[in-house]
Chains A and B, each alone.
Chain A
Amino acid sequence: MAPPIPREGPMLGRRTLLLGAAAGLAALGLASCASPGAANGAIPLKFWHLLSGGDGRTMAELVARANAANPSFDVTQTVLTWGPPYYTKLAMASAGGRAPDLAVMHAARLPGYAPGGLLDPWDLDLLAEFGVRREDFGDRVWESGLYDGDVYSIALDSHPFILFYNTDHAAAAGLMEGERMRQPRDADDFLDMVTAMKEASGGSGLSYGYVNDGAQMWRLWYTLYLQQGGVMELPIGGKARIDDGPAVEAFRFMQELVDESRGVPNADIQTALAEFISGDSGMLLSGVWELPSLQAAGIPIDAMPIPNLYGTPAAYADSHAFVLPHQNDVDEDARREVYRFVAAILKDSFDWAGAGHVPAYLPVTEDPAYADLIPQAHYAEVSDIINYDPPAWFTGSGSDFQSLFAENLQPVLLAGADPQAGIDRFRSAVDELLSKPNPV
């Protein structure tokens, strides 16, 4: 049935024209959806991830190399918007049963996925067939992929929150010991170092962007909290354990850190980055993933784990990890190729270090070439002391938990509000989440 458009003489010509245009468009689309890999027997695999920018570029190269080296599969990567939208879509796709063959997740998000059957566990025997074994990963990194005794994610990396510094300013401030900046003795000593940096840089001593960014606040605070031996436990149906002493002290320190006398007191992440990149700041607190843009700026930088200010070595991190989204009808041949692809990427993940991340696959970081990679080699040791978010279905990168943290505690840093009151509010908000049934 033709679209019932009122009859009018001159319309006919236009309609024909439009139909022709539509047909042309359709042909264009059909032509372009023929997969190049299908012709030579490669199994097409769908791979979802949330990596863009420098990460995305590097991943695209790794995928292209793996495709070229392995004629048996043809991986197509799809990049989705980072954060909650990605996890929402991934869960919906898994629940729908026609999920992509492989996806990248943050390891800390596992408790929100694995119990609900949204993910399929990895078969370690099959993985070993392609040369990837338990021993190839550090303990903390490996354990981040476990849930209830099964392995649900295979880490590609760990990406800790670290300290970047400008080596020229550090030298001018007299903070260098040989090639690297010296370790502070304690928290107060670190504050003094920041002050010295401020004089040397003529701008800020330290740049820390946190405004409207729960993740940034959480990463630093949790590091400092753990360094004081603080423990956080989130038992579903129970009450959260958050230790007041370390919690408040961490905030007291952070208030000092963002004090006007040391830097820009209310910076967001863009401001902090811009300041450090333009050489107007001595140090930058941020994630390793900022490394490529810092290097591209051509400033003299080095990096180190967040200094141990309170006695217990600890660092916040998360991992990009490979997961198998649940499929209703698993094609065993395709699964096998997924394993082959993951093994290929892991073994080739030296370049992933170029994006700043610490590769999880130990043979890569143990390679002598890695020791020459500066500043990556200067913070690789951090993977032994990393801590993921306290496990719960609502925690992990880009989760509600981190925005809840910002909601309750941003005023402490931004407006000098009382840390204890903020902690109390945060605790009761978390308790409320814990009192809700686990929806997974």
Chain B
Amino acid sequence: MAIVTAPRASVREDSIRRPGKPGEKRFGLGRIVAFAILILLAVTWLLPIAWAVATSLQTEADAGSAPVSWVGETGVTFAAYAKLLAEGNVPLWAVNSVLSSVAITLITVGTSAMAAYAFSRLDFRGRKWLYAISIASIMVPPQVLIIPLYYQMLAFNMVDTYWGLILPQVIAPAMVFILKKFFDQLPVELEEAARVDGATRLRVFWSIVLPLSRPILAAVSIFVFIGAWNNFLWPFLVINDTTLMTLPVGLQTVKSAFGVQYAENMAMSILAALPLIVLFLFFQRQIIKGIATTGFGGT
């Protein structure tokens, strides 16, 4: 079902497509109304983040006293950010988030690509069954497995370890499915030529298949990375040690000893959101393409 990398499905950057008809270029009433609605929607969607940024730049006293406003009475301050960065928890959680998300992405994409290649190209006993079971498991929401998985972590002594954080998050049958569909469409001639020249399967996979698959691998990686970076439930369950927490878990679990700190809360939110937003600003096209091509297959 995945709309696999059909170049059509990719999102084009700047070609103005739809009104490509004569007489439509003028700003008719319809376009003005459309424009107005669009602006209204965009403003609505941007306001919450803008408000969070505004709050994070106030003193706690300003943020916590009515009437609230865009700029605090005492002006703009980076105090909340400075405090968070100095206290150490947030940078520590950021490191955990980076390490675990990168590890999850590499392992997921690596193992999924290999399995997909096996399913696509190699003839081995049990292949059909294994593929069927893998694909059927797409239907199992990971959330319904939290109890037995946690029990397993207890048995393996993996609670409060990086292993427990990472390994249960690296199984993505949907990505295997997407990658297999892609491999199926790759021309087989190159590989056969290399095989005739004596290249091993691994060599063919590494030097021919993977390079040809860059766009889809990028798409899958982006999808997996965003999911891992933002995942809450599993890291929340398996990590209790505050020094091992990821950003989303730490933000939720650890509170200030001084009660609710609005400015600090918002500053933490912005800090946690910043890495992905910056990545998005740099790689907007790739990320959108990644989501669009992978989104239909990932559940």
Contacts and interface: CB of A to CB of B under 8 A. Distances in A.
Q: Do A and B bind each other?
A: yes
Contacts of A436: none
Interface stretch (B21-29, B51-59, B195-203, B210-218): B210-218
Contacts, number: 112
A56 B91 contact: no
Interface string A333-349: 00000000000000000
Contact of A57 (B88, B237, B255, B258): B258
B189 interface: no
Interface string A1-28: 1011111000100110010011001101
A96 B255 contact: no
A1 B106 contact: yes
Interface in A77-92: 77-81, 85, 89, 92
A356 to B, nearest CB: 15
B240 A59 contact: no
B79 interface: no
Interface stretch (A29-37, A129-137, A165-173, A359-367): A29-37
B240 A98 contact: yes
Given A4-B218, A32-B92, A26 B98 contact: yes
B88 A33 contact: yes
A124 B257 CA distance: 30
Interface in B251-270: 253-259
Given A32-B86, A98-B160, 6 more contacts: A4-B218, A4-B221, A7-B214, A25-B91, A79-B256, A96-B154
Nearest to A61: B257
B159 A96 contact: yes
A89 B253 contact: yes
Contacts of A22: 98, 275
B299 interface: no
B279 interface: yes
Contacts of A5: 214, 218, 283, 286
B95 interface: yes
Contacts of A85: 253
B168 interface: no
B257 A59 contact: yes
Interface string A74-115: 000111110001000100110111110000000000000000
Given A78-B254, A96-B159, A28 B242 contact: no
Contacts of B106: 1
Interface in B211-235: 213-215, 217-218, 221
Nearest to A78: B242
6 contacts: A5-B283, A18-B278, A26-B98, A46-B241, A52-B257, A60-B258
Interface of B: 85-88, 91-92, 94-95, 98, 105-106, 110, 153-154, 157, 159-160, 210, 213-215, 217-218, 221, 237, 240-243, 253-259, 275, 278-279, 282-283, 286
Where chain B touches its partner, the secondary structure class is: helix
A78 B95 CA distance: 19
Nearest to A81: B255
Given A25-B95, A33-B88, A93 B257 contact: no
Interface string A125-166: 000000000000000000000000000000000000000000
B257 A56 contact: yes
Contact of B218 (A6, A29, A46): A6
A29 B257 contact: no
Nearest to B93: A29
A25 B94 contact: yes
Pairs A-B, 5 closest by C-beta atoms: A96-B159, A56-B257, A32-B88, A29-B95, A93-B240
Contact of A98 (B86, B159, B257): B159
A26 B207 CA distance: 32
Contacts of B85: 28, 32
Nearest to A58: B257
Given A6-B218, A14-B282, A92 B237 contact: yes
B272 to A, nearest CB: 12
A32 B91 contact: yes
Contacts of A328: 157
A18 B240 contact: no
Nearest to B237: A92
A304 B259 CA distance: 27
A18 B86 CA distance: 22
Nearest to A15: B282
B91 A18 contact: no
Contacts of A96: 153-154, 159-160, 240
A52 B217 CA distance: 46
B21 to A, nearest CB: 32
A6 B215 contact: yes
A81 B283 contact: no
Given A57-B257, A79-B255, A97 B157 contact: yes
Given A52-B257, A53-B258, A56-B257, A3 B218 contact: yes
Nearest to A60: B257
A52 B98 contact: no
